[in-house]
Amino acid sequence: MLLAVKAKNKLKKGGEDKMRHVFSILLVLGLAMCCISLAEAQTSTTVSATATVPEELILRVSLNRVNSMGTDDNGVDDVWDPTPATSMNFGRLTHTLDNGQEAGTLFSKPYYYVALMGAYSSGRRYYIRSSCSGLVGPVTLTKGFGVTNIDNNPKKADKSPINAGTFPSGAVLGTPGPAVVSDKLLLDSGSTGANWVIGAYFGIPPYKKDGSIPYPGFEPIPVNAPNGDYTGEVRFTLTL
């Protein structure tokens, strides 16, 4: 009976040793698998990404006819045509004001034109200019036709703004003056070369209601200019 008990205890002890050995093996395998998992989580792959920005020098111009409504109000109630124009057609010039008084000069009413211009230069400094040699007919008219305003914050026909943000730092607008001139500066982008849309207003206006001139350097078309059809061209250029 005593021997049997001892034998039983020996068998029990041998089983416990085997269990400990198996557990040790499982623990080592578990740690190994854990290390493999950690190693996999830290593995990364890098791939390249490429793109090319083209070098551009593009000028976009949209010409728009505007009805001044016969008022000298700096555009407050002016009405833009819903579709862009293809040319500046000032029609039949007159020398009579709306009230029937003599203006003493030939001028166009009620329309003027706004050229909306935006440039793309790949961030390089650029200049937008206009040139005109005059309106040619029986004689060449070099007076009266002018850039009456240059707007750095023009709006669309529906009065909504075109540009977002503020006028680029360092950019400089040209000044109103006669349109019949070579390379009239409309915009100097400044060193940033930022894209921006400006509006250049072209017209053949009379004197203002208070008798002042409509733009610097204004000289009127004389009322004794020969009758006939007159044509000309305005060229817009973008240069670095």
Tens of pLDDT along 176-219?
999 999 999 999 999 999 999 999 999 999 998 888 999 999 99
CA angle 175, 177, 180 (to 5 degrees): 130
Q: 145-174: per-residue pLDDT in tens? A: 999 999 999 988 888 899 999 999 999 999
Spatial CA neighbour of 122 closest among 58, 188, 49: 58
pLDDT of residue 169: 94
pLDDT band at 6, cuts 50/70/90? very low
pLDDT band at 41, cuts 50/70/90? confident
- DSSP characters for 118-166? EEE-TT---EEEEEE--EESSSEE-SS-EEEEEESS-B-TTS-BSS-S-
Q: Which one has a higher pLDDT value, 53 or 39? A: 53
pLDDT band at 11, cuts 50/70/90? very low
What is the spatial distance between Cα 108 and Cα 89, in angstroms, rounded to a whole number? 10
pLDDT of residue 60: 96
Tokens coding 181: 């001139």
pLDDT of residue 128: 98
What is the spatial distance between Cα 50 and Cα 83, in angstroms, rounded to a whole number? 40
Region 119-134: mean pLDDT is 96
Q: For residue 47, is pLDDT > 60?
A: yes
Q: For residue 3, is pLDDT > 50?
A: no
Q: 64-102: per-residue pLDDT in tens? A: 999 988 776 666 778 999 899 999 999 999 999 888 889
Cis omega (within 30 of 0) on the bond before 110?
yes
* Half-sphere exposure in the Cβ direction for 34 (13 Å, CA): 6
